[in-house]
Amino acid sequence: TVAGRGFSGAGQNVGLGFVKLKDWELRPGANLKVDALVGRAMAKFSKIRNARVFAFPPPAVMELGRAGGFDFELQDRGGLGHEALMAARNQMLGLAAKDPRLVRVRPSGLEDVTQYRIDVDWEKAGALGVPISTINSTISAAFGSAYVNDFIQGGRVKRVYVQADAPYRMLPKDLERLYVPNAKGTMTPFTSFAAGHWFQGSPLLERFNSFPALNIWGEPAPGRSSGEAMAAMEEIVGKLPKGVGYDWTGLSYQERMAKAQTGLLYTFSIIVIFLCLAALYESWTIPITILLALPLGVIGGVVATSLRGLPNDVYFQIGLLTVLGLTTKNAILIVQFAMAKVEEGMGLIEATLEGAKLRLRPIVMTSLAFGFGVLPLAMATGAGAGAQIAIGTGVLGGMVTATFLAVFFIPLFFVGVVQLFTKKKIAPAAKPDSDAVSPPEEQ
């Protein structure tokens, strides 16, 4: 038996080590990145039959979790007991190993170890007049230690502890040598009211939100998002026995809380865009044209992210918010010019086509300038490249579709919305009739 220390504390046959990687510049190539190194290390560790060894990157945000991926707490909410909870954990690990959305799912707590339990017959102890406090203090002093007093030696204060000598506190049979004083002062053999037995148990009693719990770590498979991995774990919990629950902690808890606000964030963003456009055009119908153009940019961002195998994470969502604003800008360029021509008396369709034709060059030029600006993000390398690639890819893909689809769909949306919601139909501009007879001039 080897004593060591891990994230869950000190225990038997457990250890923890940190590997310091060289600088990014000294590790060129994808095969020397963190994920590749972890994958090769896990391939080597999986061949060790007498131990379970895991390699994992640090958390994305320090102090929020202890490793990269998700942080999961499996809880005993039905009072099933430790053995049932361990069986549920093993069942979960088996199901997670078969799920293509998950990789490296492993427990982070200390494994069960052999322990020795002392069973006290309290009725016999009471009949013999042995107090509970005396039993506890005797065991504590003999096999642990007990503070007695202080004394001064050489001008220094030293403490006195009492403890059974090492040869007399190493084995369970040493309990037979203990005697406990009863209420009358008579020494009573410890074996007259207590016995012991060996069993397998957890060295650490872990609880989470007042429930007995086991901590489990894991990571999403390549090309899968953390949200998909968390959904997979929740599906697996549904297959476990009744009374077994779960909860998220660390960065996973923050992600789950933020996920509930994602829809509200996008809704609020669209409402703000709508109100700003309504104030700009002094109309409630024209902004609908621009809102209809928002999916044009979202489609490109989703397609580009999917083609590169990137997950739907918070960086991708930030990129989508940027794409919404840029798509709105392209729509405004066409709609604003078309509205001005309509107010000058030009027909609706003619004004719309004229606006799309004249605004094509500014739209393409500004979109190209912005696209080349975010291109380095989509091709980033080095520290922080993951966030830059996620944002750059989504924004660049959204700009491509928003630029080339806008000149076709925005005029269509504008004409349809104006004809649908405007009570007074806008007629085409009247053409001069060359055959008409002009009235005679007064003489």
Predicted confidence (pLDDT) at residue 154 exceeds the cutoff of 90: no
Q: Is residue 441 in some structural domain?
A: no
Query: What mean pLDDT value characterizes the chain?
Result: 82
Residues 318 and 348 in one domain: yes
Confidence of residue 434 (pLDDT cuts 50, 70, 90): very low
Joined together, the tokens standing for residue 11 give: 């225990």
- 81 and 31: one domain? yes
Q: Which of 177, 201, 225 is the last residue of a domain?
A: 201
More confident residue, 433 or 31: 31
Q: Binning pLDDT at 50, 70 and 90, where does residue 385 land?
A: confident
Cβ burial of 131 (10 Å; 0-12, 13-18, 19+) is middle
28, part of any domain = yes
At 71-129, the pLDDT tens digits run 889 999 988 988 899 899 999 999 998 999 998 888 877 777 788 888 999 999 989 99
**Within its chain, how far is the Cα of 399 from the centroid?**
28
Provide mean pLDDT across the span 241-256: 86
CATH code of the domain covering residue 291: 1.20.1640.10
More confident position, 150 or 9 = 150
Sorted by sequence, the CB contacts under 8 Å of residue 206 that are 6+ apart come out as: 8, 109, 212, 213, 214, 215
Considering the domain architecture, whether residues 106 and 212 belong to the same structural domain is answered as yes
301 and 370, same structural domain?
Answer: yes
> In the predicted model, is pLDDT for residue 16 greater than 90?
no
The CATH number linked to 7 is: 3.30.70.1440
Q: How many CB atoms lie within 10 A of CB 397?
A: 26
> What average pLDDT score do residues 243-263 get?
81
Residue that has been written with the tokens 């392209």 in this structure = 330
With 50 as the cut, is the pLDDT of residue 443 above it?
A: no
Q: How many residues are given for the chain? A: 443
CB 261: neighbour CB atoms within 10 A? Answer: 10
Separation between Cα atoms, residue 232 and residue 266, nearest integer Å: 25
Radius of gyration of the chain (CA): 36
Q: Are residues 119 and 221 in the same domain?
A: no
Q: How far apart are CA 47 and CA 41, in angstroms?
A: 10
CATH number of the domain enclosing 161 = 3.30.2090.10
Give the pLDDT score at 76.
92
Q: Which of 251-260, 276-285, 357-366, 415-424 is predicted most confidently?
A: 357-366
Q: What is the pLDDT of residue 66?
A: 56
> What is the per-residue pLDDT for 405?
84
Is 259 contained in some domain? no
pLDDT in tens, 162-184: 998 888 888 888 888 889 998 88
- Judge if 10 and 55 occupy the same domain: yes
From the list 280, 285, 304, the residue with the least C-alpha distance to 402 is: 304
Residue with tokens 């085409």: 428
Q: With 80 as the cut, is the pLDDT of residue 425 above it?
A: no
Per-residue pLDDT band at 1 (split at 50, 70, 90) = low
Query: Does any domain span residue 433?
Result: no
Q: Single out the residue of 72, 67, 70, 112 nearest to residue 92, CA to CA.
A: 72
**DSSP string computed for 289-346:** HHHHTHHHHHHHHHHHHHHTT----HHHHHHHHHHHHHHHHHHHHHHHHHHHHHHTT-
Residues 188 and 120 in one domain: yes
For the chain, the domain total comes to 3
Q: Is residue 95 one of the residues assigned to a domain?
A: yes
pLDDT score, position 26: 82
Tell me whether residue 278 is in a domain.
no
Residues 90, 131, single domain; the answer is: no
Longest dimension (CA), the chain: 148
* More confident call, 394 vs 57: 394
User: Is-contact 193 176, C-beta < 8 A?
Assistant: no
Using pLDDT thresholds of 50, 70 and 90, give the confidence band for residue 374: confident
In a domain, 389, yes or no: yes
Q: 64: which residues sit within 8 A by CB, 6+ positions away?
A: 250, 251, 254
Has residue 141 got a pLDDT over 80?
yes
Task: Assess whether 313 and 378 both reside in one domain.
Answer: yes
The pLDDT of residue 244 is above 80: yes
pLDDT at residue number 7:
65
- 294 and 371 together in one domain: yes
Statement: residue 190 has pLDDT above 50: yes
Across 1-10, 72-81, 361-370, least confident range: 1-10
Flag whether pLDDT at 226 surpasses 90.
no
153 strand-pairing partners: 156
Does position 261 have pLDDT exceeding 90, yes or no? no
What proportion of the chain, given as a percentage, has pLDDT over 70? 90
Evaluate whether residue 153 is within a structural domain: yes
Q: Whose CA is closest to 348, among 419, 249, 260? A: 419
Range of the domain at 302: 283-421
Is the same domain home to 98 and 214? yes
68 and 104 in a common domain: yes
pLDDT value of position 297 = 86
What span, in angstroms and rounded, lies between the C-alpha atoms of 389 and 228? 20
CA-wise closest residue to 332 among 305, 363, 309? 363
Name the band, by pLDDT with cuts 50, 70 and 90, for residue 207: confident
Residue 137 tokens, joined: 């203090």
Q: Which of 323, 330, 347 is nearest to 289 (CA)?
A: 330
